[in-house]
Amino acid sequence: MPPQVTRLVLLACGIVGTYAIARTVLTPRSFGQYGHYRGAALEEIAAREPSFAGAKACDECHSEVRDKLAKYEHKSISCESCHGPARAHADDPDVTTRKLTNASCARCHAENGVRPVWMKRIKADHFAGDKCIECHVPHQPKETP
């Protein structure tokens, strides 16, 4: 047998052996417990502190806003979709939520080919200078201030 073949076989065995050892050492023990992922990840995720408060928490203090919102297009959107995670604000009202910016509106309304046809879209130059909320009321999109 030529020496090149022997070297290639030894090299292949070395690579496969290194891979097998690395896979054994580096794979977490709980991998594959509930399918093709780490079983311990479920406990880690469950142990996290939730950062979202939910619509009920917002409704406790801001029910008048929820009532206005119920009449308009944004009625199915969570408050936290625009204002950000509100757990800290729900626990302590002095902590403020994210203020609305053009980026808040553009996240859903920027002209994008994958958005549904029925969703209102805005060209980027439409909101380049001013804030959207200077002309539009987010809780009542059909009205202007």
65-115 confidence digits (pLDDT tens): 888 888 888 888 888 888 888 888 988 888 888 887 777 788 888 887 777
pTM for the model: 0.58
Query: What Cα–Cα distance (Å) separates residue 3 from each residue in 6, 7, 12, 14, 64?
Result: 5, 6, 14, 16, 84
Tokens linked to 4: 């090149």
Among candidate residues 94, 96, 91, 82, the one with its CA nearest the CA of residue 60? 91
Greatest pairwise CA separation for the chain in angstroms: 87
Contact 69, 102 (CB under 8 A): no
Question: Across all residues in the chain, what is the average pLDDT?
Answer: 84
